[in-house]
Each structure stands twice: as structure tokens, then as C-alpha cells.
Structure 1
Amino acid sequence: MLAVVCGHYHDSETLIDEMDDDGDGIADRKVYQMLADYQDGPEGGQGYMRLLQFDTTANKMYVKTYSPYLNEYNFYKPEEYPGKDEFTLDMDLKPAIK
């Protein structure tokens, strides 16, 4: 598992956990957890959603928050909450054979 995207808990947070798959005390991988739920905002959240773009060459995931209803980015004010709606995560996106 690489990432978990969830909602239904009002807020927007990102957490990165390191997982030790083989029990040797050394982290083997990271799991990225993103909570994005805007339905507590005006008009039930005004259609805000997370847009995820994966760049497999650069091993990055670009995250933006967008409302097609308002045609606007960022639910939170960037100057008050920097990095809450728009950010980049470095992650290993190379194919793995298990």
C-alpha cells in the first residue's frame, strides 16, 4: 500500500507513516495518508475536492484542492494555512514486483 485517501471527518490533513514490513526495525516504505473533507464548509463544501497528479519520472505526487462549482483553487486561505491545500509529496512510484 502506498497511499490512503479518506474523508467524512471534517478537516484536511496529511500524515506520512514509515512501515517496517520485515520486522528488522528499519523502515521499508512510507504510506501517505491524506484526509480531505470540506462538507462542513459553506453550501456543503462548495464541491471542493483533491486533485492528485502523479509524476512517475520525478517520483512526485502533486496535490491541489479545487472547486468546479466555484472554479477556484484552495478551500483554505494559503496565507493562513500554507501547504494545506496545495503541496508536493516525494514518493517512490517505481513499479514493484511482489
Structure 2
Amino acid sequence: MAELYDVRVWHMTKEHDTSSARRRRHPALDVRIPFFKPLWRRVLTSAVMVLWIIVELVYGSPYWAALAAGICAYVGYQFFVAFDLDERR
């Protein structure tokens, strides 16, 4: 029971405050990293994902195509709408 209490106290510290304007993302979902600063890398990654969707549809896997389309939509939004060049070093 003490371990559960410690976890609750840890989440209540100022460092892990979820009410702040800028919330931390899970590292696996954070695609706004310095590697993707050049526009050509973001465009190439998006093009490969669209190609993946086409391949899945051609081979008759609409569910995998839908999953790839969802990932592509998320990444496209992060790359071209929400991406801020000055945010990352």
C-alpha cells in the first residue's frame, strides 16, 4: 500500500503538473525532434507513409490501411501544422 501512496505523491509534484499549458508527450509519440527539422525529411517520411497505405490497400488489407492512414494523419498534422522550427534546437 505504501508504494501506491508514493506513486500518488510523485504525480502530485510540480514537475508532473498536468495543468500546465505545455504538457509532456510520450517520447514515442513526439515526432517534433531535431531530426525532422529539414522539410525534405518530413516530406519524405509522409510520402513513405502514403505509399504504405497504397500497398496495404492493393494487397487487400483495409484495416492495416486504416491504421496507417491514422498514423499518417497524426504525423502529417505534427509535421506540417503543429511543427515549430524554433521550438527545438
Shared fold (TM-score, shorter chain, > 0.5):
no
Bigger Rg over Cα: 2
Q: Give the TM-score, by structure 1 length.
A: 0.28
Higher strand share: 1
- Going by fraction, where is helix more abundant, 1 or 2? 2
**TM-score using structure 2 length:** 0.30
The higher-RCO structure (CA 8 Å, 6+ apart) is 2
